[in-house]
């Protein structure tokens, strides 16, 4: 069976395929059930499949669905790796932990965000302290969140964002649009005002399933930025950090730092590596996002705007819900065999190198 055959067309199908593959691989399964249901009343959950000893000193974690709809990519890759027997012959005292659908609500409803309209990868910060400011977003809020998704409104939005980029530069425009904001709960890239369900759930998984390990590598699979099918390992630490140096040693030039400005991603506050650092203090933790390109960034931006407009106008009950859902799914998941094979092969190589790195 080719890797492409392990990808799915819905969250429910993806969960079933993942669980079947995990059982066939002899994994130990646990689940954290979400309090809400899916669009057809199905159970939503973050599922954990463990292969290797419960008290392993070295753990490789592979995550999917942090950004909901990106789970189409990550889940397919996880299921393919399990089905291929990726973790069949592990080194001594080593385990692999597959964390499936970290944001199951977004995955099930074809949204990048969660049930609170929160971008999970902006939520892992100390909410008792003042939240980061994003003055560029404040200036562009009306353009980033247009009044409707007509051709005229979107054209006006593009003109305003282009004018901002011409004045402040492309990186400043990218930061305004994607670095997160904490002032517009119904807006794009909202980071929330408190830890959301997926945040709390992931922290519990780390404590319970990784707390005994001394060395941890976490590869969180994402999609939507970069050239079609090309992978970048995003490091949220500077190039001078130990984590960046380890990542470069294991994975080479595909590793880029958001801090030093050469990553396809902005330097984002409250991302998942923060959670790993906090919950696994005293261990050697190396956590990053493996990002795969899909379609041109303009199409991704329009899809995010359309999704946010839908959220403000009835959500999945709106007559345009199916149309907008397909738009955002197509922006973050390329339903083509060559793309699926490419992202699976690259993830397989990254994870194999990670297992070698854990033994060093």
Query: Please, what is the average pLDDT of the chain?
Result: 95
Q: Does the predicted TM-score (pTM) go above 0.75?
A: yes
- 260 falls in which pLDDT band (50, 70, 90)? confident
* pLDDT of 13 strictly over 80: yes
Report the share of the chain in percent with pLDDT over 70: 100
Q: Which pair of tokens denotes residue 29?
A: 């399964």
- 261 falls in which pLDDT band (50, 70, 90)? confident
User: Between β-strands 94-100 and 215-228, what pairing exists: parallel, antiparallel or unpaired?
Assistant: unpaired
Which range, 121-130, 145-154, 261-270, is most confident?
121-130
Q: Residues 17-21: what's their mean pLDDT? A: 98
Which range, of 117-126, 264-273, 329-338, averages the lowest pLDDT?
Answer: 264-273
The confidence score (pLDDT) of residue 360 equals 86
* pLDDT of 316 strictly over 90: no
Q: How would you write the chain as a 3-class SS string?
A: CCHHHHCCCCHHHHHHHHHHHHHHCCCEEEEEEEEEECCCCCEEEEEEEEECCCCCCEEEEEECCCCHHHHHHHHHHHHHHHHHCCCCCCCCCEEEEEEECCCHHHHHCCCCCCCCCCCHHHCCCCCCCCCCCCHHHHHHHHHHCCCCCCHHHHHHHHHHHHHHHHHHCHHHHHHHHHCCECCCCCCCCECCCCCCHHHHHHHHHHHHHHCCCCEEEEEEEEEEEEEECCEEEEECCCCCCHHHHHHHHHHHHHEEECCCCCCCCCCCCCCHHHHHHHHCCCCEEEEEEEEEECCCHHHHHHHHHHHHHHHHCCHHHCCCHHHHHHHHHHHHCCCCHHHHHHHHHHHHHHHHHHHHHHHC
* pLDDT of 76 strictly over 80: yes
| pLDDT tens digits, 146-157 | 988 899 999 999
| pLDDT tens digits, 200-210 | 999 999 999 99
User: How far apart, in whole angstroms, are the C-alpha atoms of residue 264 and residue 342?
Assistant: 19
- 179 falls in which pLDDT band (50, 70, 90)? confident
User: How far apart, in whole angstroms, are the C-alpha atoms of residue 68 and residue 61?
Assistant: 18
The confidence score (pLDDT) of residue 275 equals 94
| pLDDT tens digits, 188-204 | 999 999 999 999 999 99
The confidence score (pLDDT) of residue 1 equals 75
Q: Residues 253-267: what's their mean pLDDT? A: 91
- 170 falls in which pLDDT band (50, 70, 90)? confident
The confidence score (pLDDT) of residue 212 equals 94
The confidence score (pLDDT) of residue 314 equals 92
Report the share of the chain in percent with pLDDT over 90: 93
Q: Residues 251-271: what's their mean pLDDT? A: 92
Cα–Cα nearest to 311, from 34, 118, 46: 118
Q: Residues 73-97: what's their mean pLDDT? A: 97
């Amino acid at each position: 069976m080719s890797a492409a055959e392990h990808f799915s067309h819905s969250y429910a199908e993806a969960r079933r395929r993942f669980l079947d593959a995990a059982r066939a691989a002899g994994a130990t399964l646990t689940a954290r059930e979400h309090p809400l249901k899916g669009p057809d009343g199905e159970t939503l959950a973050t599922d954990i499949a463990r292969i290797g000893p419960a008290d392993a000193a070295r753990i490789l974690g592979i995550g999917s669905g942090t950004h909901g709809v990106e789970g189409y990519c990550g889940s397919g890759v996880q299921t393919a790796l399990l089905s291929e027997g990726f973790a069949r012959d592990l080194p001594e005292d080593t385990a692999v932990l597959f964390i499936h659908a970290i944001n199951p609500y977004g995955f099930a409803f074809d949204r990048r965000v969660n049930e609170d309209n929160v971008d999970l990868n902006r939520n892992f910060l100390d909410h008792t302290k003042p939240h980061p400011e994003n003055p560029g977003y404040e200036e562009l809020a009306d353009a980033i969140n247009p009044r409707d998704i007509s051709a005229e409104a979107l054209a006006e939005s593009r003109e305003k964002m282009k004018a901002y980029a011409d004045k402040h530069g492309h990186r400043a425009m990218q930061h305004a649009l994607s670095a997160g904001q904490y002032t517009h709960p119904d807006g794009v890239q909202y980071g929330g005002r408190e830890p959301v369900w997926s945040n709390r759930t992931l922290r519990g998984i780390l404590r319970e399933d990784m707390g005994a390990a001394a060395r941890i590598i976490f590869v969180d699979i994402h999609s939507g930025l970069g050239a079609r099918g090309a992978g970048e390992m995003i490091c949220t630490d500077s190039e001078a950090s130990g984590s960046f140096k380890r990542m470069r040693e294991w994975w080479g030039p595909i590793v880029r730092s958001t801090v030093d400005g050469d990553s396809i991603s902005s330097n984002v506050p409250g991302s998942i590596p923060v959670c790993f650092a906090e919950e696994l203090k005293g261990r050697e933790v190396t956590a990053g996002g493996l990002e795969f390109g899909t379609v041109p960034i303009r199409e991704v931006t329009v899809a995010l705007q359309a999704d946010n407009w839908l959220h403000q106008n009835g959500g999945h009950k709106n007559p345009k819900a199916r149309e907008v859902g397909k738009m955002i799914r197509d922006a973050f998941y390329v339903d083509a065999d060559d793309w699926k094979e490419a992202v699976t092969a690259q993830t397989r190589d990254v994870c194999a190198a990670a297992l070698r790195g854990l033994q060093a």
